Amino acid sequence: MRCVRCGRCQFECPVFLQTANLWGGPVYGGPMGMGWTAITLGERLAGELSYLCLGCGRCDEVCPVEIPLSDIIRKLKSGYASGGKAG
Ligand code: SF4
Ligand code: SF4
């Protein structure tokens, strides 16, 4: 909810750039879109998408409001792997 939609995380994300800006979700893409996708379309879809994340942390470094994006994605991945909700 703190996101100011600046897009910096998207343009630092190698996955977002390599997937022609299509990765992360249909409304908001990239790292900032993953949480939104989980809330609006379900953790299952977000969990599937999370597997492309490299865990490099570049998104965290550029976010001006210090949202722990890679940690959110890591939790989505972990939740998906265990068959449950992200925790
Ligand atoms: S940690 Fe994942 S979402 Fe963040 S920049 Fe790296 S690949 Fe992209
Ligand atoms: S860098 Fe942070 S504030 Fe900017 S769009 Fe990404 S999550 Fe939102």
Which ligand neighbours the alpha carbon of 9 most closely? 2
How many Cβ atoms are within 10 Å of 67's Cβ, its own excluded?
19
pLDDT at 53: 97
Helix pair 69-81, 43-50: axis angle to 10 deg: 110
pLDDT at 1: 74
10-residue mean pLDDT series, the chain (87 residues):
93 94 90 95 95 97 97 96 72
Domain boundaries, the chain: 8-80
pLDDT at 84: 66
pLDDT at 34: 95
Ligand 1 mutation target, pool 8, 10, 13, most atoms within 8 A of CB: 13
